Amino acid sequence: MTSTVISRRIEELEKLAPPLTAKPDLDKYWEQSLKQFANKPLNATKILVDTPFPHMEAYKVIFEGFDDTPIHGWYLLPRNRPDDKLPCVVIYHGYTGSKGLPEDYASYILMGIAVFAIDIRGQAGETGNLMPQDYGMTRGWITQGILYRDSCYYRAITIDALKALDWASEQPEIDASRICASGGSQGGGLAMIAAALSDKPAIAVAHIPNMCQMDFGVLNSSSSLVEAAAFIERFPHHLETVLDTLSYYDNLNLAHRIRIPILVTVGLKDPVTMPETIYAAYNRIQSEKTILPFPFSGHVVTGEQNRKGLEFISKHFRLG
pLDDT in tens, 240-294: 999 999 999 999 999 999 999 999 999 999 999 999 999 999 999 999 999 999 9
What does the pLDDT read at residue 214?
A: 97
Instruction: Assess if residue 135 is contained within a domain.
Output: yes
Residue type at 120? I
In this structure, what are the phi and psi dihedrals at residue 28, rounded to the nearest 5 degrees?
A: -60, -40
* Domain range enclosing 280: 34-285+299-316
What does the pLDDT read at residue 80?
A: 87
Instruction: Assess if residue 81 is contained within a domain.
Output: yes
How many angstroms separate the Cα of 37 from the Cα of each of 143, 155, 317?
A: 23, 12, 29
Q: Which of 3, 21, 71, 9 is nearest to 284 (CA)?
A: 21
State pLDDT tens for residues 198-218.
Answer: 999 999 999 999 999 999 999
- Name the strand (E) or helix (H) holding 43: none
Query: Once rounded to an integer, what is the mean pLDDT over residues 66-77?
Result: 98
Catalytic annotation on 270? yes
- CATH number of the domain encompassing residue 307: 3.40.50.1820
State pLDDT tens for residues 57-69.
Answer: 999 999 999 999 9
**Residue 154 pLDDT level (bands cut at 50, 70, 90):** very high
Contact 160, 121 (CB under 8 A): yes
Q: Which of 127, 196, 199 is nearest to 156 (CA)?
A: 127
Instruction: Assess if residue 106 is contained within a domain.
Output: yes
Residue 162 predicted with pLDDT over 80: yes
What does the pLDDT read at residue 81?
A: 86
Burial 28-45 (b: 16+ CB within 10 A, else e): eebeebeeeeeeeebebe
Query: Once rounded to an integer, what is the mean pLDDT over residues 159-178?
Result: 98
Other C-beta atoms closer than 10 Å to the C-beta of 259 total: 13
Other C-beta atoms closer than 10 Å to the C-beta of 100 total: 15
Residue 1 predicted with pLDDT over 50: no
Catalytic annotation on 185? yes
The rounded distance, in Å, linking the Cα atoms of 40 and 140 is 28
Which of 160, 215, 250, 270 is catalytic? The answer is 270
Instruction: Assess if residue 24 is contained within a domain.
Output: no
Distance of CA 298 to the CA centre of its chain: 19
Instruction: Assess if residue 72 is contained within a domain.
Output: yes
In this structure, what are the phi and psi dihedrals at residue 160, rounded to the nearest 5 degrees?
A: -55, -45
Residue 3 predicted with pLDDT over 80: no
Q: Provide the domain count of the chain.
A: 1
Query: Once rounded to an integer, what is the mean pLDDT over residues 150-162?
Result: 98
Is the pTM higher than 0.75? The answer reads yes
Query: Once rounded to an integer, what is the mean pLDDT over residues 71-92?
Result: 95
The rounded distance, in Å, linking the Cα atoms of 80 and 109 is 10
State pLDDT tens for residues 83-100.
Answer: 899 999 999 999 999 999
What does the pLDDT read at residue 2?
A: 54
Residue 298 predicted with pLDDT over 70: yes
Residue 172 predicted with pLDDT over 70: yes
Instruction: Assess if residue 254 is contained within a domain.
Output: yes
Instruction: Assess if residue 26 is contained within a domain.
Output: no
Instruction: Assess if residue 10 is contained within a domain.
Output: no
Beta strands in the chain (DSSP E): 45-49, 56-64, 70-78, 86-92, 114-118, 174-184, 203-207, 262-267, 289-294
Please give the share of the chain, as a percent, with pLDDT higher than 70.
Answer: 99
Query: What is the average pLDDT score of the chain?
Result: 97
The rounded distance, in Å, linking the Cα atoms of 185 and 54 is 31
User: Taken in order 16, 91, 271, 124, is the CA torsion positive or negative?
Assistant: negative
Which of 185, 221, 223, 247 is catalytic? The answer is 185
Q: Which of 93, 153, 154, 144 is nearest to 118 (CA)?
A: 93
Among left, alpha and beta (phi > 0; psi -120 to 50; other), residue 145 is left
Catalytic annotation on 299? yes
**Residue 56 pLDDT level (bands cut at 50, 70, 90):** very high
